[in-house]
């Protein structure tokens, strides 16, 4: 069950005053003047450590996919609604379409021949493809192929549209910082052209961004500026998979290059500065080999995971689930998290995104490794 936000009280010297007619008049005065005293709020406002309002929560891919397919049959996509995207709604976040207090996570579905119209917004976004192919996302006129295992970041305020050039529907997941932008009231949105040019509706194997940027360790000398969002619009599965395999192979050869024994991980990074691909969202792929488990970890900020492949069990706070391909779950701020690969699976691959860059930027990030003290 979701843990309710417990009120952590301050040490005992924070006593409440004795009730009296004068005190009640004081409180009425506060209310009339729109004032609230700290001493009635302190435990919730300033807890000893993060007490997330979000719940540790799991969504099964089977149901996500079935419901998205049904939405494909019943709900048109086009101008106004903009996208056939269905958000994970964490049940303790007030009925809002938020996976966590800062992160949006959705399954998006596009039928054969459909076009999701061009628009742009200040929210930072990415797509991650669990299965399927046939959709191209067009970012600033650059058509980018989407296939299984590909990660496609797209920084805020870039024009984008999607089109399905195949004969089958396709689903993928979107991650955005919509709740963060909403809470901080920093959003802008603009609609784009009704139709794209024939060139933009093309289906190239490689986007222009990849032809320019997807060469490890090689930067085009003409591109001198560091960019707050990555100019590389697709990180292909073949590269991610090879990087993870080589980490585990190096470990087996006696080199201490993994996060912990049997746990390899890579972070998608911005080739102009080596930092996160998006200013507000960190994205990673983790591979835990058969028989291995991750080190228990808790940290400031929230994460959303999707099982990319394999099977295993995950523990989030007091919750424990068996998970398989496509399942998605949330790790709220400061809740301990461990993942373990199932004995029958060669590996458990976990795609992860989190709001960590926000906390790093404001020097509010903390992490604790190893079993948490009670
Ligand atoms: O594909 O442009 O899930 O603008 C939410 C907002 C997807 C998108 C979402 C969006 C998009
Ligand atoms: Fe969008």
Q: How far is the CA of 141 from the centre of ligand 2 (A)?
A: 14
Q: Give the span between the Cα atoms of 256 and 302, in whole angstroms.
A: 28
Phi-psi region of 207 (alpha: psi -120 to 50; beta: other; left: phi over 0): beta
pLDDT over 80 at 1, yes or no: no
CB atoms closer than 10 angstroms to residue 74: 8
Is the shortest distance between the CB of 103 and ligand 1 below 6 Å?
no
**Helix ranges (DSSP H) in the chain:** 21-32, 42-45, 61-74, 178-183, 208-213, 237-252, 356-361
Is any ligand 1 atom within 6 A of the Cβ of residue 137?
no
Ligand 1 atom closest to 160 (CA)? 2
**Residue 334 pLDDT exceeds 50:** yes
Q: pLDDT per residue over 30-84, tens digit each?
A: 999 999 999 999 999 999 999 999 999 999 999 999 999 999 999 999 888 899 9
Name residue 59's beta-bridge partners: 328
pLDDT (0 to 100) of residue 80: 87
- Nearest 5°: phi and psi at 356? -50, -40
User: Which pLDDT score, from 0 to 100, does residue 372 have?
Assistant: 57
The secondary structure of 101-121 as a DSSP string is SS-EEEEEEE-TT-EEEEEEE
Atom of ligand 1 nearest to the CA of 127: 1
From the CA of 106, give the closest atom in ligand 1.
3
> Is the CB–ligand 1 distance for residue 108 below 6 Å?
yes
Residue bearing the bigger pLDDT, 17 or 139 = 139
pLDDT in tens, 113-139: 999 999 999 999 999 999 999 999 999
Whole-number pLDDT of residue 194: 86
Nearest to 161 by CA among 129, 121, 188: 121
Given this model, what pLDDT does residue 14 score? 60
C-alpha of residue 122 to centroid of ligand 2, in Å: 9
First to last CA, the chain: 19
pLDDT of residue 4: 44
Separation of 174 CA from ligand 1 center, angstroms?
7
The count of other CB atoms within 10 Å of the CB of residue 287 is: 28
Q: Residue 2's pLDDT band (boundaries 50, 70, 90)?
A: very low
Q: Burial, 136: exposed, middle or buried (Cβ in 10 Å; 0-12, 13-18, 19+)?
A: buried
More confident residue, 136 or 8: 136
Mapped onto helix, strand or coil, the DSSP state of residue 50 is: coil
pLDDT at 374 over 80: no
Question: Residue 190 pLDDT more than 70?
Answer: yes
Q: Which of 318, 297, 331, 333 has the alpha carbon at shortest distance from 49?
A: 333
Distance of CA 84 to the CA centre of its chain: 18
Q: What percent of the chain is helix, strand and coil (3-state, nearest 5)?
A: 20, 30, 50
CA dist., res. 41 & res. 254, Å (int): 53
- What is the distance in A from the centroid of ligand 1 to the CA of 166? 20
Beta carbon of 118 within 6 Å of any ligand 1 atom: no
Output the pLDDT for position 16.
Answer: 83
Q: Which of 158, 164, 96 is nearest to 126 (CA)?
A: 158
The three-class DSSP label of residue 361 is: helix
The 125-128 sheet, strands edge to edge: 85-87, 104-110, 170-176, 125-128, 151-154
85 lines ligand 1 (CB under 6 A): yes
User: Which domains, from first to last, does the chain contain?
Assistant: 1-46 (no CATH), 58-213 (2.60.120.10), 237-373 (2.60.120.10)
Note the pLDDT tens digit of each residue in 225-278. Answer: 999 999 999 999 999 999 999 999 999 999 999 999 999 999 999 999 999 999
> Residue 276 forms beta bridges with which residues?
269
Q: What is the mean pLDDT of the chain?
A: 95
For ligand 1, atom 8, the nearest C-alpha belongs to 83
Residue 160 Cα to ligand 2 midpoint, Å, equals 6
Residue 140: per-residue pLDDT: 97
Smallest CA separation from ligand 1 atom 6, residue: 83
């Amino acid at each position: 069950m979701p843990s309710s936000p417990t009120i952590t009280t301050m040490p005992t010297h924070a006593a409440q005053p004795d009730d009296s007619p004068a005190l009640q008049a004081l409180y009425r005065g506060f209310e009339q003047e729109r004032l609230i005293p700290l001493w009635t709020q302190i435990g919730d406002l300033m807890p000893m450590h993060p007490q997330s309002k979000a719940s540790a929560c799991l969504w099964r891919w089977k149901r996500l996919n079935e419901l998205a397919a049904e939405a494909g049959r019943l709900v048109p996509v086009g101008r106004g609604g903009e996208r056939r995207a269905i958000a994970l709604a964490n049940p303790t976040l007030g009925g809002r379409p938020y996976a966590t207090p800062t992160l949006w996570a959705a399954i998006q579905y596009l039928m054969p021949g459909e076009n999701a119209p061009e628009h742009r917004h200040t929210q930072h976004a990415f797509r991650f493809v669990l299965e399927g192919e046939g959709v191209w996302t067009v970012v600033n006129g650059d058509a980018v192929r989407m296939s299984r295992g590909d990660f496609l970041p797209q920084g805020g305020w870039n024009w984008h549209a999607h089109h399905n050039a195949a004969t089958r529907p396709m689903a993928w997941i979107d991650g955005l910082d919509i709740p963060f932008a909403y809470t901080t009231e920093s959003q802008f949105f603009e609609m784009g052209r009704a139709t794209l040019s024939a060139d933009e509706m093309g289906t190239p194997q490689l986007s222009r961004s990849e032809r320019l940027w997807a060469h490890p360790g090689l930067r085009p000398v003409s591109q001198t500026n560091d960019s707050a969002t990555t100019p590389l619009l697709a990180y292909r599965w073949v590269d991610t998979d090879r990087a993870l395999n080589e980490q585990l192979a190096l470990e087996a050869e006696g080199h201490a290059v993994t996060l912990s024994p049997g746990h390899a991980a890579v972070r998608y990074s911005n080739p102009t500065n080596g930092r996160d691909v998006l200013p507000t969202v960190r994205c990673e792929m983790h591979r835990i080999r058969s028989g291995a488990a991750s080190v228990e970890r808790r940290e400031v900020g929230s994460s959303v995971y999707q099982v990319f492949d394999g099977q295993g069990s995950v523990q989030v706070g007091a919750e424990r689930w068996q998970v398989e391909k496509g399942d998605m779950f949330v790790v709220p701020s400061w809740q301990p998290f461990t993942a373990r690969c199932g004995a029958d699976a060669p590996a458990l691959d976990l795609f992860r995104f989190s709001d960590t860059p926000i906390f790093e930027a404001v020097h509010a990030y903390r992490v604790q490794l190893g079993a948490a003290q009670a």
